[in-house]
Structure 1
C-alpha cells in the first residue's frame, strides 16, 4: 500500500481522486493549498503526489523543485486545466513523472499511478552502490549541492557524456574533476580545453593536432588535445564558444572516437570520456543557429546544473570555515576569528561571481587584516562594502516611502536573525570540534571571552567537543513531537 497526497483546490476533484486512490488500495490524503502540501511533504513520507498547477497561493510548478529537494522525494504527477508546452517542459525538466491535461481519462491516470509507484518501489529496493566520491574543493551541504553530489556518483559509474551548466565561478571544472577522480579513470589524463580561448585560426590544430608542414609554421608534428585525452577524460570548458565549423568535426569525433590530424591522411583513434561545461543556454543558442542541435543531443546524456551561491546561507558558512583555514595556512597566518557583522555581510551579499568571487574576497580580507586576530566588515573588498552601503540606503528609502496604512507584505522565508542564529550554532560546533574542546584556543580564534563563549555554547546546547548536549537534544525532540502531534 502506497501513500498518496493530492494537492488541488477543487473540492470535487479532491474527493474523486481520494476515492479512486482508496479503491486502488492505497492510503490517501488531500490538501487545497501549496503551503499545506509542502508542509505535508516535509513532515510525512509520501510515495506519490498528484499536483495541480493553478492553485490559490501560487503555481504547482514552483512547488515541484521544493518537493524534489526532500530526502527520498515522492514521484509527482502534474495535473492542470491550463496546460501549455512551456508548462510541460518545465514540469518534466523539474523531475515530474508525467504532465496530464484536464479533463483526463481516469484509466490513463490509474496507469500512470501504477507505473510511477512501480518505478519508485524498484528504485527504493535497488539503490545503486555509490562510489567513494573524491570531492576536493567542493564544499556545501545544501539540498542543491547534495543533488549535484548525487549526480557526481551517478556519472562516475558510467562513461556517458556529461554536460555541466552553471554561471561563472560556480566550480564547473571542480565538478568535472570530481567525476573523473571518482570513477575508473582516476589517475588517468584529465585534459582541459578552454573553448573560449582557442584562436580561430588554430582551433583544429590544437584539438586534432597536425602533421609537419600542414600549414605555414608547422615545422614539426604536434599531438592534439583530443589525442592527449586517450584513456582519460576530455573536459571542454565553455563549449558554447566552440566555432560552428569545428562543432561539425567534433560531432564525428564523439560518434566514432577517431579523427584525422590537420594535414594527415590516416585516422587516429582516441578513447576518452567526455565532459563539457557552459554558462550559456545551449537550447536558445541552437534556435539562433549558434550551436548544432545534434551536438547538443550528444552532450547531454547526463546534465548537472550547478546552483549560484546567492541564498545558500548554510554553504557560505561552510565555505568560510574551509577556505579560512586553507588560505591562512597558505599566507602563513594564524587562524582568525570574525565579527558577527563580517558574517552578516557574507550572508546578505548577492555574490555575482559565485564561489570564485567568495574565495578571492576572503583572500583580500585576510591580506588586509594581516596579523589582526579578527576579521571585520572593514576588511572586505571595497566593492562589496560599497554595494552593501548602497543597498542599505535603498532599503531605508523604500521603507520611508511606504504608506503607513499599507499592510506589509508577508515574507515567507526565514528572518536574517534566524539565519544568523543557525549559522552561529554551526560555527560554534565547527569551532569546538576543530580546537578539540580547547577553550583558550576557541576564545582566541573567535575573539570571545570565556564567559561569552560558555553562554553561547549553552544557548545552542553544545558541549566542549562540539556535540549537542544530550539533554538539549532530548528536549528538542520532545518539543518537535508535541508540535507534530
Structure 2
C-alpha cells in the first residue's frame, strides 16, 4: 500500500481520485491549498504527491522545494490544465516525475502513478551507494545528498559532466570528487582556467609544441590535452571561452586527436571531460554566444550545486570544519562557538556561498585569535548588519501587517489573476450553455472542448446541463 497526497482545490476531483486510490489499495490524503499541503507534509509521509499548479493561495511550484525535502522524498506528479500550456515544461524543469493534463480520469492517473511507484520500489531496492571519497565536500542535507548521488553515478562512467552553480559553491571540489572516485583516479587531474586562456597561445597551451615551432620554443612541451591522457580534463568556467577557442575544443573533443604546434604528427589523448560554469549555457547558446554542438558534448551528465542559502542545515558543519582546518594551519588552539554564532551564520544570505563562509571564518580567526570562544560580535560588520536588519524586518512584520489591514484590500497578483480568469471562464460557459440550449454535445461542437472537459467545467461552476 502506498500513501498518496493530492493537493488540489477541486472537491469533485478529490472524490474521484480518492475513490480510485481506495480501489487501487492506497491510502489517500487531500489538501485543498498550499497551506493545507504543507500541514499534511508535517504530519504524514507520502510516496507520491499529485500537485495542481493553480491553487487558491499560490502557484503549485512554490511548494516543490518542500516536497523534495519532505520525509521519504515523494515522487511528484504535476497536474496541469489546458489554460496553463507551459505547465508541462515547468513540471520537467522543476524535477517532477511526470505531469498529467486535466481533466483527470482514472486512466490518465493510473499509469503514471503505477510507474512512479515502480520506480520508487526499484530505487529502494538498489544497493547502497559506495562510500565516496568526498574531497572535503561537507554537507548533511538532502540537497547535498542528491548531488553526491550524481557524483557516484558520474564516477561509474566516462561520460562528460557539466557542473553548474553560483560562484563559490564548490564546483571544482565536485569535479575532483568525480575524478578520484573513478577508475582514472590515480592519473592526472588537469585544470584548464578557461577565463585565462590567451587567444594567441591557446593552441600551444592546449596542444603543446615542438622545439623551434616559434620564437622561444627551445624544447618540446606537452599541452594540457596530452597531460590529461588517461585522466580527467577539467574545464573551469567554460562559459568564458571565446567562440574561436570553443571551436578548437570541439574539434578535439570529437575524437581526442590533435597536432602539437609545429609537428607533422597527430597525437591521441584519452581523457575524461568535466566542465564547470556559473553561467546559463543554454541561454548563451540561444543568444549565439556559445556553440550548441559544444554544449551537447558537455552535458551528458549535469550536476547543479545548490547555493549555501538553500542548505542552511550545512552552515554549522561547514563553519566548524573550516575553523578546525584554519586553527591547524595557523597553529592555534581549537575555537569554541556560542550557539548564537551559528544562528547568525544561518541568518546570513551568503552571496559568495561556501567560499565566502571559509573567508569569513579565516577573518574571524585572525582578528580574534586570542578569543577561546567565538560570538556573533566576532563576525565581520557587514554580516552582523545584514543579520540585524533581517531581524528588525521580522520584528516590524506585525506592525506592517496592521498597516496593510487598514489600507484598501488589494489581493496578491496571482490571486487577482485567478479570480479574473475564473470570472471570464464562468461568463463564457454561461454564454455557451445559452447558445447551445443547455445541450453538452452541441456546446462541445461550438467550443471545441471535449464533453468530459465541459462536464468538469460545468460542475466547477455549478451550471445546469442536459445531455
Q: TM-score, normalised by structure 1?
A: 0.76
Other-structure match for 1:242: 241
- Per the TM alignment, residue 386 of structure 1 is displaced from its structure 2 partner at its CA by 5.1
Contact kept? 1:3, 1:28, Cα under 8 Å: yes
Cα displacement string for residues 353-408 of structure 1 (whole angstroms, at most 9, x for unaligned residues): 1111111111111111122222244433344345556x369749966984755459
Other-structure match for 1:299: 298
- Per the TM alignment, residue 39 of structure 1 is displaced from its structure 2 partner at its CA by 4.0
Contact kept? 1:258, 1:267, Cα under 8 Å: yes
Task: Decide whether aligned partners of structure 1 residues 257 and 104 sit closer, same or farther in structure 2, where only a CA change above 3 A counts.
Answer: farther
Other-structure match for 1:31: 31
> What is the alpha-carbon distance in structure 2 between the residues aligned to residue 89 and residue 279 of structure 1?
23
| 2:117 aligned with 1:154 | no
1:307-456 maps to which residues of 2 (within 5 A)? 307-385=306-384, 387-388=386-387, 391=389, 395=393, 402=400, 404-406=402-404
> What is the alpha-carbon distance in structure 1 between the residues aligned to residue 39 and residue 270 of structure 2?
49
Relative to structure 2, which stretch is displaced further, 20-29 or 286-295?
20-29
Task: Decide whether aligned partners of structure 1 residues 120 and 388 sit closer, same or farther in structure 2, where only a CA change above 3 A counts.
Answer: closer
| 2:266 aligned with 1:260 | no
Cα displacement string for residues 159-206 of structure 1 (whole angstroms, at most 9, x for unaligned residues): 221111111111111111111112222222111111111112122221
Contact kept? 2:138, 2:314, Cα under 8 Å: yes
Other-structure match for 2:270: 271
Other-structure match for 1:229: 228
Contact kept? 1:132, 1:182, Cα under 8 Å: no
Q: TM-score, normalised by structure 2?
A: 0.79
Other-structure match for 1:57: 57
| 2:170 aligned with 1:171 | yes
- Per the TM alignment, residue 138 of structure 1 is displaced from its structure 2 partner at its CA by 1.3
Relative to structure 2, which stretch is displaced further, 241-250 or 99-108?
99-108
Task: Decide whether aligned partners of structure 1 residues 119 and 348 sit closer, same or farther in structure 2, where only a CA change above 3 A counts.
Answer: closer
- Per the TM alignment, residue 49 of structure 1 is displaced from its structure 2 partner at its CA by 2.2
| 2:34 aligned with 1:40 | no
Secondary structure at the aligned position of 2:295 is classed as helix
> What is the alpha-carbon distance in structure 2 between the residues aligned to residue 10 and residue 281 of structure 1?
38
Contact kept? 2:34, 2:57, Cα under 8 Å: yes
Other-structure match for 1:98: 98
Contact kept? 1:131, 1:156, Cα under 8 Å: no
1:126-137 maps to which residues of 2 (within 5 A)? 127-137=126-136
Contact kept? 1:83, 1:101, Cα under 8 Å: no
Other-structure match for 1:8: 8
Other-structure match for 2:182: 183
Other-structure match for 1:454: none
Pair member with larger Rg: 2
> What is the alpha-carbon distance in structure 1 between the residues aligned to residue 280 and residue 255 of structure 2?
27
Secondary structure at the aligned position of 2:262 is classed as coil
Contact kept? 2:137, 2:174, Cα under 8 Å: yes
Aligned residues: 406
Gaps of at least 5 residues in structure 2 are 407-467
Other-structure match for 2:76: 76
- Per the TM alignment, residue 23 of structure 1 is displaced from its structure 2 partner at its CA by 3.5
Backbone CA RMSD of aligned residues: 2.7
> What is the alpha-carbon distance in structure 2 between the residues aligned to residue 77 and residue 399 of structure 1?
35
Other-structure match for 1:444: none
Relative to structure 2, which stretch is displaced further, 162-171 or 345-354?
345-354
Other-structure match for 1:120: 120
Other-structure match for 1:194: 193
Cα displacement string for residues 265-297 of structure 1 (whole angstroms, at most 9, x for unaligned residues): 333211111111100011111111111112212
Other-structure match for 2:139: 140
Secondary structure at the aligned position of 1:304 is classed as strand
> What is the alpha-carbon distance in structure 1 between the residues aligned to residue 390 and residue 240 of structure 2?
38
Secondary structure at the aligned position of 1:265 is classed as coil
> What is the alpha-carbon distance in structure 1 between the residues aligned to residue 23 and residue 339 of structure 2?
57
Cα displacement string for residues 195-222 of structure 1 (whole angstroms, at most 9, x for unaligned residues): 1111121222212222334344333322
Which has the higher relative contact order, 1 or 2, with Cα contacts under 8 A spaced 6 or more apart?
Answer: 2
- Per the TM alignment, residue 75 of structure 1 is displaced from its structure 2 partner at its CA by 2.4
Contact kept? 1:48, 1:76, Cα under 8 Å: yes
Contact kept? 2:49, 2:74, Cα under 8 Å: yes
Other-structure match for 1:66: 66
Secondary structure at the aligned position of 1:168 is classed as coil
Contact kept? 2:45, 2:71, Cα under 8 Å: no
